[in-house]
Structure 1
Amino acid sequence: MRMPAFLLLAAGLSVSTAASASALAHEYVLEDLVVVHPFATPAPPGVPHAAAYVDIRVEGDTPAALVGATTPASDSVELHDMQMDGGVMRMRRVERIEVPAGTLQTMRPGGGYHLMLMDLKAPLRLGERFPMTLEFAERGEVEVEVWVQGADAGSEAADGHHHPD
């Protein structure tokens, strides 16, 4: 039996829309922890460092703490926090990023927590992807794929992935 053309078109649009939505954000699960849309922004030419961002959601009753990260894209990864201090934006290294139970910790360009990729092996280019391992106290490690995107595109994709309760 032949399917009418309008049904074929509708089915194609449905598959295309689903594929587009899944391409906008990605997530990883470790126990009751959900890591959403890891992305990094390209560094300006000649700058050997770049920032990566990730949203972390704890769906259970036990808080989580991100305590480290590694990637073959850089020599090391540091956990950082950027805050205003007397009218000046200051970045400082932190030992851990706490995620209270039942909450979402978002990381975005422009301030707050981020992962600093120190001494990049090669410049990060828009559209590239690279692996990163996130280490959580008491929960272990989860390997994620980091997408290199512009700050707005990465933030919008991560924001669009979260569903209102």
Structure 2
Amino acid sequence: MKRTLAGLAAIFALVMVAPASAEDVKAGDLVISQTWTRATPNGAKIGGGYLTIENKGSTPDRLVGGSGNVAGKIEVHEMAMDNGVMKMRPLDKGLTIEPGKTVKLAPGGYHLMMFDLKAQLKQGDKVPVTLEFEKAGKVTVSLDVQGVGAQAPGGDDHSGHMDMKKM
């Protein structure tokens, strides 16, 4: 019984920890976390990048672009519904992160669009990209490659929660 309880406690502790992801990265007053991307099929030429940016400062900053060896071009994009039609567009002026606010780049919303991928993004890999901010400058982060259909950094939307009924 003690072994079973110890095993369950160990599993519970592992599941409650946030999914394995890159360390938080600081750039000026910004904290960048939950950096990830989806695996791509062989031959795919585009991919998306997702992350969370928190502005701990007193002035706004703006994500204006990105770069990296993984792609020919990286842009900041937005997906939004327009009269029942999902539309995607580049944010030519960048994405503002207001002071004291957090902006999440996620599937179906703001995201990094990586064009002309140089190689397949494979689950389990880490992809370095450099983000460019108006005030904080350039900062390199590592995107954790999740599964093809992932919706969140851990590959699901459960955020580390465990269903005890399934044990």
Out of 151-160 and 54-63, give the one that drifted further: 151-160
Partner of 1:51: 48
Partner of 2:68: 71
* Distance change in 2, residues 1:43/1:66 (3 Å): same
Q: Percent identity?
A: 36
Cα deviation, 1:129-162, whole Å, max 9, x if unaligned, reads: 111111100221111111111323416789959x
Q: How many residues align?
A: 152
Q: Which runs of 4+ in 1 moved over 3 A?
A: 155-161
Cα deviation, 1:8-59, whole Å, max 9, x if unaligned, reads: x8xxx6xx85xx6473453101121100121011234543100011100001
Aligned CA RMSD, in angstroms, stands at 3.0
User: Whole-Å Cα distance in 2 between the matches of residues 125 and 68 of structure 1?
Assistant: 23
Cα deviation, 1:96-121, whole Å, max 9, x if unaligned, reads: 01111001001111x21100010100
Cα deviation, 1:38-91, whole Å, max 9, x if unaligned, reads: 101123454310001110000111111001100111111011100111111010
Q: If the length of structure 2 is used for normalisation, what is the TM-score?
A: 0.77
Contact 2:19 2:154 in 1 (8 A): no
Contact 2:151 2:157 in 1 (8 A): no
Q: If the length of structure 1 is used for normalisation, what is the TM-score?
A: 0.78
Please give the secondary structure, in 1, of the residue aligned with 2:20.
Answer: helix
* Distance change in 2, residues 1:41/1:156 (3 Å): closer
Please give the secondary structure, in 2, of the residue aligned with 1:116.
Answer: strand
Partner of 1:140: 137
Aligned counterparts, 1:1-165, within 5 A: 17=14, 21=18, 23-24=20-21, 26-95=23-92, 96-109=94-107, 111-150=108-147, 151-154=150-153, 160=159
Letter of the 1:53 counterpart: Y
What are the ranges of 5 or more consecutive residues in structure 2 without an aligned counterpart? 161-167
Considering fraction of residues, name the structure with more helix. Answer: 1
